[in-house]
Structure 1
Amino acid sequence: MTEFEDLRLAVYRSFARTGRAPSAEDLAATTEADIGTVRAGLAELARTRHVALDEAGRIVMAHPFSAVPLGFAVMGRRTLWWGGCAWDSFALPQLLREEGEVLVSTRCPACSRPHAWNVGADGPPDGDQVAHFLVPVTRMWDDVVRTCGHQRLFCSTECVDAWCHQTGSTRGYVMDLPTLWRLAAHWYDGRLDRGYRRREPEAAKEYLRGVGLSGLFWGL
Protein backbone atom coordinates (compact mmCIF):
# COMPACT_ATOMS: atom_id res chain seq x y z
CA MET A 1 0.00 0.00 0.00
CA THR A 2 1.34 3.43 -0.92
CA GLU A 3 2.27 5.87 1.87
CA PHE A 4 -0.17 8.28 0.25
CA GLU A 5 -3.13 5.91 0.09
CA ASP A 6 -5.64 8.50 1.34
CA LEU A 7 -4.47 10.87 -1.37
CA ARG A 8 -4.60 8.21 -4.08
CA LEU A 9 -8.15 7.30 -3.09
CA ALA A 10 -9.19 10.95 -3.05
CA VAL A 11 -7.88 11.38 -6.61
CA TYR A 12 -9.61 8.30 -7.98
CA ARG A 13 -12.88 8.80 -6.16
CA SER A 14 -13.10 12.44 -7.27
CA PHE A 15 -12.59 11.38 -10.89
CA ALA A 16 -15.23 8.66 -10.51
CA ARG A 17 -17.75 11.03 -8.96
CA THR A 18 -17.26 14.19 -11.01
CA GLY A 19 -15.46 13.20 -14.22
CA ARG A 20 -12.72 15.77 -13.60
CA ALA A 21 -9.32 15.85 -11.93
CA PRO A 22 -9.24 17.33 -8.43
CA SER A 23 -6.89 20.25 -7.85
CA ALA A 24 -4.23 20.25 -5.14
CA GLU A 25 -6.50 22.56 -3.15
CA ASP A 26 -9.43 20.13 -3.53
CA LEU A 27 -7.24 17.28 -2.34
CA ALA A 28 -5.90 19.26 0.62
CA ALA A 29 -9.46 19.91 1.76
CA THR A 30 -10.51 16.28 1.27
CA THR A 31 -7.52 14.73 3.02
CA GLU A 32 -7.05 17.52 5.60
CA ALA A 33 -3.40 17.83 4.55
CA ASP A 34 -1.41 20.94 3.70
CA ILE A 35 -0.69 21.84 0.08
CA GLY A 36 2.98 20.94 0.37
CA THR A 37 2.14 17.44 1.56
CA VAL A 38 -0.40 17.02 -1.22
CA ARG A 39 2.05 18.11 -3.91
CA ALA A 40 4.75 15.83 -2.53
CA GLY A 41 2.22 13.00 -2.45
CA LEU A 42 1.16 13.59 -6.05
CA ALA A 43 4.80 13.54 -7.13
CA GLU A 44 5.25 10.19 -5.39
CA LEU A 45 2.06 8.81 -6.92
CA ALA A 46 3.38 9.87 -10.32
CA ARG A 47 6.73 8.23 -9.64
CA THR A 48 4.98 4.97 -8.79
CA ARG A 49 2.69 5.28 -11.85
CA HIS A 50 -0.60 5.76 -10.03
CA VAL A 51 -1.13 9.14 -11.73
CA ALA A 52 0.41 11.20 -14.53
CA LEU A 53 1.15 14.90 -13.97
CA ASP A 54 1.85 17.79 -16.30
CA GLU A 55 4.84 20.12 -15.93
CA ALA A 56 2.90 22.27 -13.46
CA GLY A 57 2.16 19.28 -11.24
CA ARG A 58 -1.51 19.05 -12.20
CA ILE A 59 -3.15 15.65 -12.61
CA VAL A 60 -3.51 14.65 -16.25
CA MET A 61 -4.40 10.99 -15.87
CA ALA A 62 -5.25 8.47 -13.18
CA HIS A 63 -5.99 5.42 -15.30
CA PRO A 64 -8.63 4.74 -16.47
CA PHE A 65 -9.58 8.38 -15.86
CA SER A 66 -8.28 11.32 -17.90
CA ALA A 67 -8.39 15.06 -17.31
CA VAL A 68 -7.78 15.82 -20.99
CA PRO A 69 -9.59 14.75 -24.17
CA LEU A 70 -7.70 12.06 -26.07
CA GLY A 71 -10.28 11.01 -28.62
CA PHE A 72 -13.03 9.43 -26.51
CA ALA A 73 -16.03 10.52 -24.46
CA VAL A 74 -17.74 8.20 -21.99
CA MET A 75 -21.26 9.09 -20.87
CA GLY A 76 -22.73 7.50 -17.76
CA ARG A 77 -26.08 8.07 -16.11
CA ARG A 78 -25.22 11.58 -14.91
CA THR A 79 -21.49 11.99 -15.48
CA LEU A 80 -19.34 12.56 -18.55
CA TRP A 81 -15.75 11.34 -18.49
CA TRP A 82 -12.96 11.79 -21.00
CA GLY A 83 -11.90 8.35 -22.12
CA GLY A 84 -8.11 8.42 -22.08
CA CYS A 85 -7.85 5.77 -24.79
CA ALA A 86 -9.70 2.76 -26.21
CA TRP A 87 -8.45 0.57 -23.35
CA ASP A 88 -9.48 3.02 -20.61
CA SER A 89 -12.81 3.93 -22.22
CA PHE A 90 -13.86 0.28 -22.28
CA ALA A 91 -12.54 -0.13 -18.71
CA LEU A 92 -14.65 2.62 -17.13
CA PRO A 93 -17.93 0.66 -16.99
CA GLN A 94 -15.99 -2.31 -15.61
CA LEU A 95 -14.66 -0.19 -12.74
CA LEU A 96 -17.86 1.81 -12.21
CA ARG A 97 -20.27 -1.12 -12.05
CA GLU A 98 -23.08 0.98 -10.58
CA GLU A 99 -23.25 2.90 -13.87
CA GLY A 100 -24.38 -0.14 -15.83
CA GLU A 101 -23.77 0.41 -19.54
CA VAL A 102 -22.05 3.63 -20.64
CA LEU A 103 -21.95 5.24 -24.07
CA VAL A 104 -18.42 5.29 -25.51
CA SER A 105 -18.02 7.56 -28.52
CA THR A 106 -15.12 8.47 -30.80
CA ARG A 107 -14.13 9.13 -34.42
CA CYS A 108 -11.98 6.98 -36.67
CA PRO A 109 -8.57 8.73 -36.79
CA ALA A 110 -8.20 7.86 -40.48
CA CYS A 111 -11.55 8.89 -42.00
CA SER A 112 -13.31 10.73 -39.12
CA ARG A 113 -16.32 8.43 -39.26
CA PRO A 114 -18.16 8.61 -35.89
CA HIS A 115 -18.54 5.48 -33.80
CA ALA A 116 -20.41 4.77 -30.57
CA TRP A 117 -21.03 1.68 -28.48
CA ASN A 118 -23.00 0.80 -25.37
CA VAL A 119 -20.30 -0.80 -23.23
CA GLY A 120 -20.99 -2.68 -20.03
CA ALA A 121 -19.60 -5.39 -17.80
CA ASP A 122 -21.61 -8.32 -19.16
CA GLY A 123 -19.93 -8.75 -22.54
CA PRO A 124 -18.31 -6.94 -25.46
CA PRO A 125 -20.37 -4.65 -27.70
CA ASP A 126 -21.19 -5.61 -31.26
CA GLY A 127 -19.09 -4.14 -34.02
CA ASP A 128 -16.49 -4.87 -36.68
CA GLN A 129 -14.23 -2.00 -35.67
CA VAL A 130 -10.66 -2.62 -34.49
CA ALA A 131 -8.40 -1.07 -31.88
CA HIS A 132 -4.86 -0.06 -32.84
CA PHE A 133 -2.16 0.36 -30.19
CA LEU A 134 0.88 2.22 -31.51
CA VAL A 135 3.34 2.10 -28.58
CA PRO A 136 4.63 -1.27 -27.31
CA VAL A 137 4.23 -2.13 -23.64
CA THR A 138 7.88 -1.58 -22.72
CA ARG A 139 7.66 2.06 -23.88
CA MET A 140 4.14 2.97 -22.76
CA TRP A 141 5.26 5.03 -19.77
CA ASP A 142 7.97 6.95 -21.67
CA ASP A 143 5.23 9.48 -22.52
CA VAL A 144 1.98 8.06 -21.19
CA VAL A 145 -0.21 10.83 -22.62
CA ARG A 146 1.17 10.21 -26.12
CA THR A 147 0.75 6.46 -25.58
CA CYS A 148 -2.90 6.82 -24.59
CA GLY A 149 -3.53 9.27 -27.41
CA HIS A 150 -2.48 6.53 -29.83
CA GLN A 151 -4.66 3.72 -28.51
CA ARG A 152 -7.56 4.38 -30.85
CA LEU A 153 -10.50 2.67 -32.51
CA PHE A 154 -10.71 2.48 -36.30
CA CYS A 155 -13.38 1.42 -38.79
CA SER A 156 -11.21 -1.45 -40.05
CA THR A 157 -7.65 -2.61 -40.60
CA GLU A 158 -7.76 -0.69 -43.90
CA CYS A 159 -8.30 2.53 -41.93
CA VAL A 160 -5.43 1.58 -39.61
CA ASP A 161 -3.13 1.17 -42.61
CA ALA A 162 -4.38 4.44 -44.14
CA TRP A 163 -3.69 6.30 -40.89
CA CYS A 164 -0.21 4.79 -40.63
CA HIS A 165 0.51 5.96 -44.18
CA GLN A 166 -0.90 9.42 -43.47
CA THR A 167 1.16 9.89 -40.32
CA GLY A 168 4.30 7.99 -41.27
CA SER A 169 3.73 5.60 -38.35
CA THR A 170 4.72 1.96 -38.16
CA ARG A 171 1.73 -0.27 -37.58
CA GLY A 172 1.51 -1.45 -33.99
CA TYR A 173 -0.90 -4.02 -32.55
CA VAL A 174 -4.45 -4.47 -33.86
CA MET A 175 -7.22 -6.25 -31.95
CA ASP A 176 -10.96 -6.72 -32.36
CA LEU A 177 -13.60 -5.37 -29.97
CA PRO A 178 -14.01 -8.61 -27.96
CA THR A 179 -10.26 -8.69 -27.27
CA LEU A 180 -10.27 -5.02 -26.28
CA TRP A 181 -13.20 -5.66 -23.95
CA ARG A 182 -11.43 -8.61 -22.31
CA LEU A 183 -8.25 -6.53 -21.92
CA ALA A 184 -10.21 -3.78 -20.17
CA ALA A 185 -12.50 -6.03 -18.14
CA HIS A 186 -10.37 -6.57 -15.02
CA TRP A 187 -7.16 -4.64 -15.62
CA TYR A 188 -8.15 -1.88 -13.18
CA ASP A 189 -9.91 -4.02 -10.57
CA GLY A 190 -9.56 -2.52 -7.11
CA ARG A 191 -8.39 0.96 -8.03
CA LEU A 192 -11.24 2.57 -6.13
CA ASP A 193 -10.55 0.44 -3.04
CA ARG A 194 -8.18 0.94 -0.14
CA GLY A 195 -5.08 -1.19 -0.33
CA TYR A 196 -4.92 -1.44 -4.12
CA ARG A 197 -1.62 -2.77 -5.44
CA ARG A 198 -0.34 -2.63 -8.99
CA ARG A 199 0.33 -5.99 -10.62
CA GLU A 200 3.87 -7.28 -10.57
CA PRO A 201 5.34 -7.77 -14.09
CA GLU A 202 4.79 -11.53 -14.21
CA ALA A 203 1.19 -11.17 -13.04
CA ALA A 204 0.63 -8.52 -15.69
CA LYS A 205 2.01 -10.84 -18.38
CA GLU A 206 -0.25 -13.63 -17.18
CA TYR A 207 -3.25 -11.31 -17.40
CA LEU A 208 -2.33 -10.21 -20.94
CA ARG A 209 -1.93 -13.81 -22.08
CA GLY A 210 -5.24 -14.69 -20.48
CA VAL A 211 -7.16 -12.15 -22.55
CA GLY A 212 -5.65 -13.43 -25.78
CA LEU A 213 -2.66 -11.14 -26.40
CA SER A 214 0.71 -12.40 -27.56
CA GLY A 215 3.99 -11.33 -29.09
CA LEU A 216 6.88 -8.98 -28.39
CA PHE A 217 4.61 -5.92 -28.57
CA TRP A 218 3.17 -7.01 -25.21
CA GLY A 219 6.49 -8.26 -23.84
CA LEU A 220 5.29 -11.87 -24.20
Structure 2
Amino acid sequence: MGDLSEELRVAVYRGFARSGRAPGVEELAGRFDTASEEIRRGLRELAGQRHLVLDDGDRVVMAHPFASIPLGFAVMGRSTLWWGGCAWDSFALPHLVTDEPDVLVSTRCPGCDRPHAWVVGRDAPPEGGQVAHFLVPVARMWDDVVHTCGHQRLFCGEACVDAWLESTGNERGYVMDLATLWRFARGWYAGRLDHGYVRREPAAAAAYFREVGLSGAFWGL
Protein backbone atom coordinates (compact mmCIF):
# COMPACT_ATOMS: atom_id res chain seq x y z
CA MET A 1 0.00 0.00 0.00
CA GLY A 2 3.00 2.31 0.37
CA ASP A 3 2.93 4.09 -2.99
CA LEU A 4 -0.87 4.17 -3.23
CA SER A 5 -1.15 5.35 0.36
CA GLU A 6 1.06 8.37 -0.33
CA GLU A 7 -0.81 9.15 -3.54
CA LEU A 8 -4.08 8.99 -1.61
CA ARG A 9 -2.73 11.28 1.09
CA VAL A 10 -1.69 13.91 -1.45
CA ALA A 11 -4.99 13.56 -3.37
CA VAL A 12 -7.03 14.13 -0.21
CA TYR A 13 -4.98 17.12 0.92
CA ARG A 14 -4.88 18.76 -2.48
CA GLY A 15 -8.59 18.11 -2.96
CA PHE A 16 -9.32 19.91 0.29
CA ALA A 17 -7.01 22.78 -0.64
CA ARG A 18 -8.55 23.18 -4.09
CA SER A 19 -12.24 22.82 -3.35
CA GLY A 20 -12.79 22.84 0.42
CA ARG A 21 -13.96 19.21 0.40
CA ALA A 22 -12.35 15.80 0.60
CA PRO A 23 -12.72 13.33 -2.27
CA GLY A 24 -14.78 10.28 -1.34
CA VAL A 25 -13.91 6.60 -1.68
CA GLU A 26 -15.62 6.10 -5.04
CA GLU A 27 -14.13 9.28 -6.46
CA LEU A 28 -10.66 8.15 -5.41
CA ALA A 29 -11.25 4.65 -6.76
CA GLY A 30 -12.10 6.12 -10.15
CA ARG A 31 -9.12 8.45 -10.11
CA PHE A 32 -6.65 5.68 -9.32
CA ASP A 33 -8.48 2.98 -11.29
CA THR A 34 -8.52 0.60 -8.36
CA ALA A 35 -11.09 -1.18 -6.21
CA SER A 36 -12.98 0.73 -3.54
CA GLU A 37 -11.81 -1.70 -0.85
CA GLU A 38 -8.20 -0.98 -1.78
CA ILE A 39 -8.91 2.73 -1.35
CA ARG A 40 -10.51 2.08 2.02
CA ARG A 41 -7.46 0.14 3.16
CA GLY A 42 -5.21 2.99 2.05
CA LEU A 43 -7.30 5.57 3.88
CA ARG A 44 -7.31 3.45 7.04
CA GLU A 45 -3.55 3.13 6.83
CA LEU A 46 -3.26 6.91 6.63
CA ALA A 47 -5.61 7.26 9.59
CA GLY A 48 -3.43 4.85 11.57
CA GLN A 49 -0.45 7.07 10.79
CA ARG A 50 -2.43 10.15 11.92
CA HIS A 51 -2.46 11.77 8.50
CA LEU A 52 -6.28 11.58 8.33
CA VAL A 53 -9.28 11.23 10.62
CA LEU A 54 -12.05 8.98 9.27
CA ASP A 55 -15.62 8.30 10.36
CA ASP A 56 -17.14 4.82 10.56
CA GLY A 57 -17.89 4.88 6.82
CA ASP A 58 -14.28 5.71 5.89
CA ARG A 59 -15.23 9.27 4.97
CA VAL A 60 -12.51 11.83 5.67
CA VAL A 61 -13.47 13.98 8.65
CA MET A 62 -10.14 15.78 8.94
CA ALA A 63 -6.88 16.13 7.07
CA HIS A 64 -5.29 18.80 9.24
CA PRO A 65 -5.59 21.72 8.79
CA PHE A 66 -8.68 20.90 6.69
CA ALA A 67 -11.98 19.57 8.03
CA SER A 68 -15.18 18.31 6.44
CA ILE A 69 -17.34 19.11 9.47
CA PRO A 70 -17.98 22.47 11.17
CA LEU A 71 -15.95 22.87 14.37
CA GLY A 72 -16.44 26.56 15.05
CA PHE A 73 -14.49 28.23 12.23
CA ALA A 74 -15.14 29.21 8.62
CA VAL A 75 -12.22 30.21 6.41
CA MET A 76 -13.04 32.07 3.20
CA GLY A 77 -10.76 32.65 0.23
CA ARG A 78 -11.67 34.51 -2.94
CA SER A 79 -13.98 31.70 -4.14
CA THR A 80 -13.46 28.76 -1.77
CA LEU A 81 -14.88 28.12 1.69
CA TRP A 82 -13.11 25.79 4.10
CA TRP A 83 -14.15 24.56 7.53
CA GLY A 84 -11.31 25.39 9.89
CA GLY A 85 -10.72 22.44 12.19
CA CYS A 86 -9.75 24.72 15.11
CA ALA A 87 -8.05 28.04 15.85
CA TRP A 88 -4.65 26.50 15.06
CA ASP A 89 -5.76 25.04 11.72
CA SER A 90 -7.73 28.11 10.65
CA PHE A 91 -4.67 30.33 11.08
CA ALA A 92 -2.53 27.72 9.28
CA LEU A 93 -4.67 27.59 6.14
CA PRO A 94 -3.32 30.71 4.38
CA HIS A 95 0.19 29.29 4.70
CA LEU A 96 -0.86 26.22 2.68
CA VAL A 97 -3.31 27.67 0.14
CA THR A 98 -0.69 30.02 -1.28
CA ASP A 99 -2.76 30.90 -4.36
CA GLU A 100 -4.79 33.03 -1.94
CA PRO A 101 -3.27 36.36 -0.89
CA ASP A 102 -5.01 35.94 2.47
CA VAL A 103 -8.17 34.44 3.96
CA LEU A 104 -11.01 35.61 6.18
CA VAL A 105 -11.25 33.57 9.39
CA SER A 106 -14.56 33.87 11.23
CA THR A 107 -15.89 32.38 14.46
CA ARG A 108 -17.87 33.17 17.61
CA CYS A 109 -16.53 33.50 21.13
CA PRO A 110 -17.64 30.43 23.12
CA GLY A 111 -17.81 32.58 26.25
CA CYS A 112 -20.25 35.26 25.08
CA ASP A 113 -21.18 34.33 21.48
CA ARG A 114 -19.72 37.54 20.07
CA PRO A 115 -18.73 37.18 16.38
CA HIS A 116 -15.12 37.70 15.36
CA ALA A 117 -13.35 37.83 12.01
CA TRP A 118 -9.76 38.44 10.95
CA VAL A 119 -7.99 38.75 7.63
CA VAL A 120 -5.12 36.30 8.04
CA GLY A 121 -2.19 36.40 5.64
CA ARG A 122 1.38 35.17 5.44
CA ASP A 123 3.30 38.37 6.19
CA ALA A 124 2.24 39.32 9.70
CA PRO A 125 -0.29 38.29 12.36
CA PRO A 126 -3.68 39.99 12.47
CA GLU A 127 -4.26 42.63 15.10
CA GLY A 128 -6.62 42.08 18.01
CA GLY A 129 -6.81 41.45 21.72
CA GLN A 130 -8.51 38.06 21.40
CA VAL A 131 -6.89 34.91 22.79
CA ALA A 132 -6.85 31.25 21.79
CA HIS A 133 -7.61 28.64 24.45
CA PHE A 134 -6.39 25.07 23.91
CA LEU A 135 -8.27 22.83 26.33
CA VAL A 136 -6.29 19.63 25.63
CA PRO A 137 -2.46 19.54 25.81
CA VAL A 138 -0.62 18.26 22.76
CA ALA A 139 0.43 15.02 24.47
CA ARG A 140 -3.26 14.00 24.71
CA MET A 141 -4.68 15.52 21.53
CA TRP A 142 -5.09 12.24 19.66
CA ASP A 143 -6.99 10.56 22.52
CA ASP A 144 -10.10 12.05 20.86
CA VAL A 145 -8.94 14.35 18.09
CA VAL A 146 -12.40 15.62 17.11
CA HIS A 147 -13.07 16.64 20.72
CA THR A 148 -9.62 18.22 20.88
CA CYS A 149 -10.12 20.30 17.75
CA GLY A 150 -13.61 21.31 18.79
CA HIS A 151 -12.09 22.83 21.93
CA GLN A 152 -9.29 24.88 20.40
CA ARG A 153 -11.24 28.11 20.21
CA LEU A 154 -10.78 31.86 20.06
CA PHE A 155 -12.25 34.05 22.80
CA CYS A 156 -12.74 37.81 23.24
CA GLY A 157 -10.17 37.74 26.03
CA GLU A 158 -9.21 36.11 29.30
CA ALA A 159 -12.51 37.08 30.96
CA CYS A 160 -14.50 35.12 28.38
CA VAL A 161 -12.19 32.14 28.80
CA ASP A 162 -12.81 32.23 32.55
CA ALA A 163 -16.58 32.55 32.09
CA TRP A 164 -16.64 29.60 29.67
CA LEU A 165 -14.57 27.43 32.01
CA GLU A 166 -16.89 28.22 34.90
CA SER A 167 -20.01 27.45 32.87
CA THR A 168 -18.65 24.19 31.44
CA GLY A 169 -16.73 22.89 34.45
CA ASN A 170 -13.59 22.43 32.36
CA GLU A 171 -10.12 23.06 33.72
CA ARG A 172 -8.03 25.83 32.24
CA GLY A 173 -5.86 24.83 29.30
CA TYR A 174 -3.20 26.78 27.41
CA VAL A 175 -3.90 30.40 26.41
CA MET A 176 -2.02 32.34 23.74
CA ASP A 177 -2.50 35.68 21.98
CA LEU A 178 -3.16 36.08 18.25
CA ALA A 179 0.46 36.83 17.37
CA THR A 180 1.66 33.64 19.06
CA LEU A 181 -1.10 31.63 17.41
CA TRP A 182 -0.09 32.98 13.99
CA ARG A 183 3.61 32.21 14.55
CA PHE A 184 2.72 28.74 15.78
CA ALA A 185 0.43 27.97 12.84
CA ARG A 186 2.66 29.53 10.18
CA GLY A 187 5.15 26.70 9.70
CA TRP A 188 3.57 23.71 11.39
CA TYR A 189 2.05 22.17 8.26
CA ALA A 190 4.79 23.18 5.81
CA GLY A 191 5.07 20.61 3.00
CA ARG A 192 1.87 18.76 3.83
CA LEU A 193 0.48 19.12 0.29
CA ASP A 194 3.64 17.66 -1.22
CA HIS A 195 4.83 14.10 -1.81
CA GLY A 196 7.22 12.80 0.82
CA TYR A 197 5.84 14.82 3.73
CA VAL A 198 6.97 13.42 7.11
CA ARG A 199 5.16 14.15 10.36
CA ARG A 200 7.28 15.59 13.17
CA GLU A 201 8.36 13.20 15.89
CA PRO A 202 7.76 14.36 19.50
CA ALA A 203 11.28 15.78 19.97
CA ALA A 204 11.06 17.81 16.77
CA ALA A 205 7.57 18.99 17.68
CA ALA A 206 8.73 20.13 21.12
CA ALA A 207 11.64 22.01 19.53
CA TYR A 208 9.21 23.76 17.17
CA PHE A 209 6.94 24.74 20.06
CA ARG A 210 9.87 26.28 21.93
CA GLU A 211 11.00 28.11 18.80
CA VAL A 212 7.64 29.88 18.43
CA GLY A 213 7.43 30.76 22.12
CA LEU A 214 5.22 28.02 23.60
CA SER A 215 6.05 26.62 27.02
CA GLY A 216 6.16 23.01 28.16
CA ALA A 217 2.61 23.39 29.47
CA PHE A 218 1.37 23.42 25.88
CA TRP A 219 3.00 20.05 25.25
CA GLY A 220 1.56 18.74 28.52
CA LEU A 221 4.73 18.72 30.64
Please report the TM-score for the alignment, with normalisation by the length of structure 2: 0.97
Task: Give the structure 1 partner of residue 44 of structure 2.
Answer: 43
Shift of 1:61: 0.1
Once the two structures are superposed, residues 36-94 of structure 1 have per-residue CA deviations (whole angstroms, 9 ceiling, x without a partner) of: 11000000000000000112221100000000000000000110000010000000001
Unaligned runs of 5+ in 2: none
Aligned residues: 220
Shift of 1:199: 1.0
How many angstroms apart in 2 are the aligned matches of 1:97 and 1:15?
Answer: 13
SS at 1:61 equivalent: strand
Alignment of 1:26-65 (within 5 A): 26-65=27-66
SS at 2:142 equivalent: coil
SS at 1:99 equivalent: coil
SS at 1:21 equivalent: coil
Task: Give the structure 2 partner of residue 161 of structure 1.
Answer: 162
Once the two structures are superposed, residues 94-148 of structure 1 have per-residue CA deviations (whole angstroms, 9 ceiling, x without a partner) of: 1111111100000000100000000011010000000000001111001101000
Alignment of 1:1-220 (within 5 A): 3=3, 4-219=5-220
CA contact (8 A) 2:105 2:120 kept: yes
CA contact (8 A) 1:64 1:83 kept: yes
Please report the TM-score for the alignment, with normalisation by the length of structure 1: 0.97
How many angstroms apart in 2 are the aligned matches of 1:174 and 1:48?
Answer: 28
Shift of 1:33: 2.1
Identity of aligned residues (%): 68
Once the two structures are superposed, residues 162-213 of structure 1 have per-residue CA deviations (whole angstroms, 9 ceiling, x without a partner) of: 0000101001000000000011000000011111111121111110100100
How many angstroms apart in 1 are the aligned matches of 2:31 and 2:191?
Answer: 21
Mean CA deviation greater in 131-140 or 20-29: 20-29
SS at 2:107 equivalent: strand
Shift of 1:216: 3.2
Unaligned runs of 5+ in 1: none
